[in-house]
Chain A
């Protein structure tokens, strides 16, 4: 249960550091403003064909927020330990490299999910203050939450990996951002006109906005599930290998 001990410490360290509250406040504010904006647009019947959920997640601000949040959350997980030298203390305790990587990953993931809690308040507010209250589609909300969890896992695992690469938190954050931007950027190719069908299919396989949009419509698709789970495991394996090779090099 070493990973559990480490996980508890990881998660509490987020709340010990001031950065966590800044990110939490910034996210809540951005989500709130965005929600207000979308809700008012929906009320003006600009988006009558779409659900609030769906509009929310194809909104560019959502992605901007996501691409900034993840590096800020994950940049310190390994870099700080490498810089302070505490990694030596950590890895001379009877723990495996996997314990450490998993604990850091889960800590960051849970904190990431905490950042999404304010949005549930927005949804509650929507129910309370609109008349008549809009219908609630649980399957769509559930699938969207699942997709956020899955893509959050993948993105957080990228951050854990880039943090293991360097002792400099800023470099870790920039690397993570670049990596995420590339992953997200591929989905933008979708808008190019003259692509053949197989390329389009490949793009939509890895396109996170499309996955979220489908979930918002209540469509369950197992392909993104496989994609995110495999990609997350791969990134965690790479992170573990980096931690290990650092020691082999000395």
Chain B
């Protein structure tokens, strides 16, 4: 659905995006992650046909975004960051206008508008003037607008920014639901959202793709997918030296516990399951043990690790 090949974008001498390549398959929900200023919005603007790329080739649904811009724009639904809308129009009026503009056949306009009003749960405010709506409603009007021409691809730039937790949940459910019939590329800062909705994550930092994988695999990459926490009755120095001697260990962090107890956080090499080895060490040394548990890495840790210099 999206093919990006060696794409760069330069703004007045500043290279916002530097030669990135990635692809999004049909039917995928892909999360676009990265710190502020990493180049997410820029990339989305180029995909939506708003900005031309400085270099590289980008295709959406088989059409080039530069030479076949109109064809690309017919096939996408784009929701820009901060959802700019005509504040002087009524909701249904605005959606009808957008449907007409996006070349929805005249006899289908009424049906499509009613459908997206319902999908975005804004049927009750359809007669209100957009300028009087709250942020949450405007966000949903933006989503309804993006869906109105039944596009193959939805590009959503921070669809949940500025919403309260209930609204975030509602929008997340909607996106998940939409993912059944549309390909979706969405950017966000809320990592739990990505974990819950996306099949795949693209991490972009300083204009470069740092990782592209499923949320589960990404967290696995982070220092072996998490750590093992143990609490044993043994001197800290002993614990460190004995466990670090194991082959699959990356790092051991020790926190003094109460009395003679030592709490250690053990990080294994990527992909390794070190629980059994650790238990082996504990048994050999006859250390009394009162906890051995696995702490799964979060996507947040993956994000921090990938995007911090």
Q: Do A and B interact?
A: yes
Q: Report which A residues bind B (CB closer than 8 A).
A: 2, 5-6, 9, 13, 16-17, 84-89, 91-96, 247-250
For A17, the chain B residues whose CB sits under 8 A away are 88
Q: Indicate which residue in B12, B84, B89 contacts A16 across the interface (CB closer than 8 Å).
A: B89
Q: Name B11's closest neighbour in chain A (CB-CB).
A: A250
Query: Cβ of A249: which chain B residues have Cβ within 8 Å of it?
Result: 11-12
Known contacts A88-B45, A89-B85; 14 further A-B pairs (Cβ under 8 A): A2-B103, A5-B100, A9-B97, A13-B86, A87-B84, A88-B50, A88-B84, A92-B73, A92-B76, A92-B78, A93-B98, A94-B103, A248-B52, A250-B12
Is A94 within 8 A of B45, CB to CB?
no
Are A247 and B51 closer than 8 Å at their CB atoms?
Answer: yes
Chain B residues, Cβ within 8 Å of A88: 45, 50, 80, 84
B145 touches A89 (CB 8 A): yes
A-B contact pairs, 17 of them (CB 8 A): A2-B103, A5-B100, A9-B86, A9-B97, A84-B87, A85-B82, A86-B86, A87-B84, A88-B80, A92-B48, A92-B49, A92-B73, A92-B76, A95-B73, A96-B70, A248-B52, A250-B42
B78 to chain A: which residues have CB within 8 Å?
89, 92
Q: How far is the CA of A2 from the CA of B100 in the complex (A)?
A: 8
Q: Are A93 and B73 in contact (CB-based, < 8 A)?
A: yes
Count, chain B residues at interface, CB 8 A: 31
The CA-CA distance from A13 to B9 in the complex, in Å, is 35
Per-residue A-contact encoding for B158-170, CB less than 8 Å = 1, 0 else: 0000000000000
Q: Is the interface of A mostly helix, strand, loop or mixed?
A: helix
Q: List residues of chain B with CB within 8 A of the CB of A85.
A: 80, 82, 84
Do B97 and A5 touch (CB < 8 A)?
yes
Please determine whether A89 and B12 come into contact, CB atoms closer than 8 angstroms.
Answer: no
Q: Within 8 Å CB of B73, what residues of A? A: 92-95
**A13: which of B48, B80, B88 is its contact (CB, 8 Å)?**
B88
A115 to chain B, nearest CB (A): 20
Which chain B residues (5-57) contact chain A, with CB distance < 8 Å?
9, 11-12, 42, 45, 48-52
Pairwise interchain contact B101-A92, C-beta atoms closer than 8 A: no
Are B101 and A5 in touch, CB under 8 angstroms? yes
A95-B73 Cα distance, complex, nearest whole Å: 8
Closest chain A residue to B42, Cβ basis: A250
Q: How close is B78's CB to chain A, nearest CB, in angstroms?
A: 5
CB of B92 closer than 8 Å to a CB of A: no
Measured CB to CB, the nearest residue on chain A to B86 is A86
Residues of chain B in range 254-304 having any CB-CB distance to chain A below 8 Å: none
Q: Which residues of B contact A89 (CB under 8 A)?
A: 78, 80, 84-85, 145
Q: How far is the CA of A96 from the CA of B103 in the complex (A)?
A: 13
Residues of A within 8 A of B87 (CB): 84
The interface residues of chain A lying within 8 Å CB-to-CB of B70 are 94, 96
State the CA gap A17–B86 with chains docked (Å). Answer: 12
B74 within 8 A of A: yes
Is the beta-carbon distance between A250 and B9 smaller than 8 angstroms?
yes
Please report the C-alpha to C-alpha distance between residue A48 and residue B101 in the assembled complex, in whole angstroms.
Answer: 55
Determine whether B102 belongs to the interface, using a CB cutoff of 8 Å to chain A: yes
Q: Which residues of A contact B11 (CB under 8 A)?
A: 249-250
Q: Nearest B residue to A81 by beta-carbon distance?
A: B84
- Cα-based distance from A13 to B51 in the complex (angstroms): 27
A88 to B48, CA, bound (A): 10
Q: Which residues of A contact B76 (CB under 8 A)?
A: 92
Task: Name B142's closest neighbour in chain A (CB-CB).
Answer: A89
On whether the beta carbons of A250 and B51 are closer than 8 Å, the reply is yes
Chain B 76-112 interface mask (CB, 8 Å, partner A; 1/0)? 1010101011111100000001101111000000000
User: Which residue of chain B is the closest to A16 with respect to CB atoms?
Assistant: B88
Q: CB-CB < 8 A to B48: which residues of A?
A: 92
In the complex, what residue of chain B is closest to A96 when comparing beta carbons? B70
Please, which residues of chain A bring their CB within 8 A of the CB of B89?
9, 16
Q: Which residue of B lies closest to A250 (CB)?
A: B11
With a CB–CB cut-off of 8 A, which chain A residues contact B102? 93-94
Residues of B with C-beta under 8 A to A247: 50-52
The residues of B that contact A84 with a CB separation of less than 8 Å are 84, 87
Identity of the chain A residue whose Cβ is nearest the Cβ of B97 in the assembled complex: A9
The smallest C-beta distance from A16 to any residue of chain B, in angstroms, reads 4
B37 to chain A: closest CB distance in Å? 14
Instruction: Indicate if the CB atoms of A86 and B85 lie closer than 8 Å.
Output: yes
Q: Give complex CA distance A95, B49 in Å.
A: 11
| Bound Cα distance from A91 to B69, whole angstroms | 10
Q: How far is the CA of A2 from the CA of B50 in the complex (A)?
A: 17
Contacts of B71 in A (CB 8 A): 94
- B165 → A minimal CB distance (Å): 26
Nearest residue, chain B, Cβ from A87: B84
Please give, as numbers and ranges, the residues of chain A lying within 8 Å of B103 by CB-CB distance.
2, 94
Rounded to whole angstroms, the CA-CA distance of A93 and B72 in the bound complex is 9
Instruction: Point out the residues of chain A lying under 8 angstroms from B145, CB to CB.
Output: 89
